[in-house]
Amino acid sequence: MSTSFHALTVKKINKETADTVTITLEVPPILTGEFQYIAGQYLTFKKTVNGEEIRRSYSICSAPYEKELSVAVKAIENGLFSQFAVNELKVGDTLDTMPPMGNFKITPDANAQKNHIFYAAGSGITPVISMVKTILKEEPKSKVHMFYGNKSAADTIFLEELDALDAANDNFELVHFLSREDTGNPITNGRIDQSTCASIFNTYLHGADVDAVYACGPEQMIMCVKDFYTNKGMDKSKIHFELFKTSVPTENIAVESGEVISSNVTVVIDDEEYQFDLNSNGKNILQAAQDQDADVPFSCKGGVCCTCRAKVMEGTVRMDLNFALEEDEVADGFILTCQAHPTSEKVVISFDEY
Ligand code: FES
């Protein structure tokens, strides 16, 4: 897995809503292998604004079988990258792009007969549409239910494409929820929240067996979905979610109490080693490695994407937050370095282990 950036040319820009565009990138033949992706993964872009390098991750909205590489970007207020992408980027420009990453993904099985349930709100649709298209095309015996919340029809990203998929596939049920427009149905008027989860389950799923749940969007919606299915006794391994950001401010996370450990940390990346001393209550390992000029991968720095993922080869660390790694990855020693602090006197971290 490469964490290097490549300048990809913008092939197409489509306006989806007043504040959202889909950007399709040209992948040169020499990079085709590196930019192969699994439905649900994301790309990280790098751009320098006012002398400062910023990185932002966006989910891929095309499906692998379409042989395209597209992301959707919604302009957010004061968003340095999103405002540029929506208002200034042109066809023919290049974007410094890191190859696809991410654990929120689905690999279709042509013979599976599953019941997949998707919840999305706002721009949380971007990985979800890629996953839904992939299942409908490559896992045709499975059923797909999708519950999609927006303010209004005009704000609904991919509205026409999704409605066309709904009309063309008997095994796809799409239900729109609108919070600022009357849908004519009391269940779908409003947001997807705690009470709606129960209505959805009873009204649209009829208590059916659910094989997997996927949720992407605001934290509040994700937590409602997660709690609902956890309370129903669903195994955690079947509930998948992706947060775009978290409301937990990392600087407010309490430093673990107890003695402060002075650690000697070695970071390995691209077969190069960087060694430094770091206290258990000091900077995170990603930041400390960057201070040594190590070219370590990162994007959100908030424990939400998994761009900064690395493996503990020796010693122990603790993480402030983890909204991105699966339990089995943590058990295998993987960490989010932007959230990690050493807790043993010697720690070796490798970015070269996958
Ligand atoms: S940079 Fe996103 S989780 Fe660390």
CB of 306 closer than 6 angstroms to any ligand 1 atom: yes
Fold of 115-243: Rossmann fold (3.40.50)
**Residue 183 gets which letter from DSSP?**
-
Cα→Cα distances 220→14, 152, 245, 288, Å: 29, 19, 11, 32
CB of 338 closer than 6 angstroms to any ligand 1 atom: yes
Q: What is the pLDDT at residue 261?
A: 87
CB of 335 closer than 6 angstroms to any ligand 1 atom: no
State the pLDDT confidence band at 1, using cuts at 50, 70 and 90: low
Q: Which atom of ligand 1 is nearest to the CA of 309?
A: 4
Ligand 1 centroid to Cα of residue 62, in Å, is 23
User: In the predicted model, what is the mean pLDDT of residues 188-210?
Assistant: 89
% of the chain residues with pLDDT over 70 = 95
In this predicted model, what pLDDT tens digit does every residue of 283-325 receive, in sequence order?
Answer: 999 999 999 999 999 998 989 888 999 999 999 999 998 888 9
CATH no. of 6-101: 2.40.30.10
State the pLDDT confidence band at 252, using cuts at 50, 70 and 90: very low
% of the chain residues with pLDDT over 90 = 80
Ligand 1 centroid to Cα of residue 323, in Å, is 9
Residue 247 has pLDDT above 80, yes or no: no
Q: What is the pLDDT at residue 323?
A: 86
Residue 333 has pLDDT above 60, yes or no: yes
Domain layout of the chain by residue ranges:
6-101, 115-243, 252-350
State the Cα–Cα distance between residues 217 and 198, nearest whole angstrom.
19
Q: CATH class for domain 252-350?
A: alpha beta
CB of 129 closer than 6 angstroms to any ligand 1 atom: no
CB of 304 closer than 6 angstroms to any ligand 1 atom: yes
In this predicted model, what pLDDT tens digit does every residue of 160-175 receive, in sequence order?
Answer: 999 999 999 999 999 9
**In terms of Cα–Cα distance, which of 123, 120, 58, 121 is closest to 84?**
58
CB of 308 closer than 6 angstroms to any ligand 1 atom: yes
**Residue 303 gets which letter from DSSP?**
S
User: In the predicted model, what is the mean pLDDT of residues 134-150?
Assistant: 97
Residue 254 has pLDDT above 50, yes or no: no
Average pLDDT along the chain: 92
Q: What is the pLDDT at residue 250?
A: 46
CB of 146 closer than 6 angstroms to any ligand 1 atom: no
The pTM of this model reads 0.85
Ligand 1 centroid to Cα of residue 39, in Å, is 20
Q: Which residues make Cβ contacts (< 8 Å) with residue 112, sequence separation at least 6?
A: 139, 141, 142
CB of 101 closer than 6 angstroms to any ligand 1 atom: no
CB of 336 closer than 6 angstroms to any ligand 1 atom: yes
CB of 347 closer than 6 angstroms to any ligand 1 atom: no
Candidate of 98, 245, 301 to mutate for ligand 1, largest count of ligand atoms within 8 Å of Cβ = 301
Residue 251 has pLDDT above 60, yes or no: no
In this predicted model, what pLDDT tens digit does every residue of 77-122 receive, in sequence order?
Answer: 888 899 999 999 999 999 999 999 998 999 999 999 999 999 999 9
Q: What is the 3-state secondary structure (H, E, C) of 7-65?
A: EEEEEEEEEEECCEEEEEEECCHHHCCCCCCCCCCEEEEEEEECCEEEEEEEEECCCHH
CB of 303 closer than 6 angstroms to any ligand 1 atom: yes
**Protein residue closest via CA to atom 3 of ligand 1:** 303
Residue 192 has pLDDT above 70, yes or no: yes
Residue 57 has pLDDT above 60, yes or no: yes
Residue 35 has pLDDT above 80, yes or no: yes
61 touches 129 (CB < 8 A): yes
For 227, the 3-state DSSP assignment is: helix
Ligand 1 centroid to Cα of residue 70, in Å, is 22
Candidate of 322, 323, 336 to mutate for ligand 1, largest count of ligand atoms within 8 Å of Cβ = 336
